[in-house]
């Protein structure tokens, strides 16, 4: 099953496409992502594009496991890249994000923030104009308690997000 899904993704990315970017103006999307710096903190995400080249998203993640609870809230801004990167079913973008994290481990609660800068793409299969898959790469800074760490970001579609647009 996993190889079937990966094959579909590659067919969608490498199949011949048109010459204009997907217009998401005034479209609201709801989906999933798993982009927090902590391991295994999947979130429910919403995306909105108020104009053809600018978008916003918010992701909320909650895990209330006893003595190991986690919470995350992340907001992001996307700027669609104009020029030679225009494709009918593919939008290239860059952006930034900021979020809050709270992690409880064995009764100790640590809180902090996360900042990210990224570039990525959101692609649509022909005939499935409401369903998108995203992948992103970039850098991030995470500060939890007194520890600050820098990290690289490389998120595949099942981590960066799958979104259904209305």
Report strand pairing: 162-165 vs 27-33: antiparallel
pLDDT at 8 over 70: no
Kindly give, in sequence order, each residue whose CB lies less than 8 Å from that of residue 153, ignoring residues fewer than 6 positions away: 35, 116, 118, 136, 137, 138, 139, 140
Task: Quickly state the pLDDT bin for 7 (edges 50, 70, 90).
Answer: very low
Mean pLDDT of 119-142: 93
| DSSP string across 66-118 | TT--EEEEEEEEEEE--STT-BTTEEEEEEEEEEEEEEEETTEEEEEEEEEEE
Spatial distance between the Cα atoms of 75 and 157, rounded to a whole number of angstroms: 18
Q: What are phi and psi of 16, to 5 degrees?
A: -65, 135
Cα separation of 92 and 29, whole Å? 17
How does pLDDT run across 27-78, given as a tens digit for each residue?
999 999 988 887 778 999 999 999 988 999 999 999 998 888 999 999 999 9
Q: Which residue has the higher pLDDT, 136 or 39?
A: 136
Q: How confident is the model at residue 146 (pLDDT cuts 50, 70, 90)?
A: confident
The pLDDT > 90 percentage for the chain reads: 55
Tokens linked to 86:
């225009």
Q: What are the boundaries of each domain within the chain?
A: 2-165
Instruction: Find out whether 34 and 59 touch, Cβ atoms under 8 Å.
Output: no
Topology annotation, domain 2-165 = Porin (2.40.160)
What tokens does 89 get?
């079913």
- Each residue of 81-97: pLDDT tens digit? 887 566 788 999 999 99
The answer on pLDDT for 14 being more than 90 is: no
pLDDT at 107 over 80: no
The pLDDT, as a whole number, for residue 116 is: 95
């Amino acid at each position: 099953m996993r190889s079937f899904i990966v094959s579909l993704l590659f067919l969608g990315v490498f199949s011949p496409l048109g010459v204009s970017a997907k217009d998401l103006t005034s479209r609201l999307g709801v989906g999933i992502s798993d982009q927090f710096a902590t391991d295994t903190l999947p979130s429910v995400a919403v995306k909105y594009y108020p104009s053809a080249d600018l978008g916003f998203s918010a992701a909320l993640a909650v895990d209330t496991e006893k003595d190991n609870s986690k919470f995350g809230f992340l907001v992001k801004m996307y700027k669609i890249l104009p020029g030679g990167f225009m494709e009918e079913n593919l939008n290239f973008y860059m952006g930034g994000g900021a979020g809050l994290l709270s992690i409880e481990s064995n009764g100790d609660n640590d809180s902090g923030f996360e900042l990210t800068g990224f570039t990525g793409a959101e692609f649509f299969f022909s005939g499935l104009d409401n369903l998108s898959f995203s992948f992103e790469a970039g850098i991030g800074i995470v500060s939890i308690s007194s520890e600050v760490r820098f990290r690289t970001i490389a998120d595949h579609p099942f981590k960066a997000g799958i979104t259904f647009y209305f």
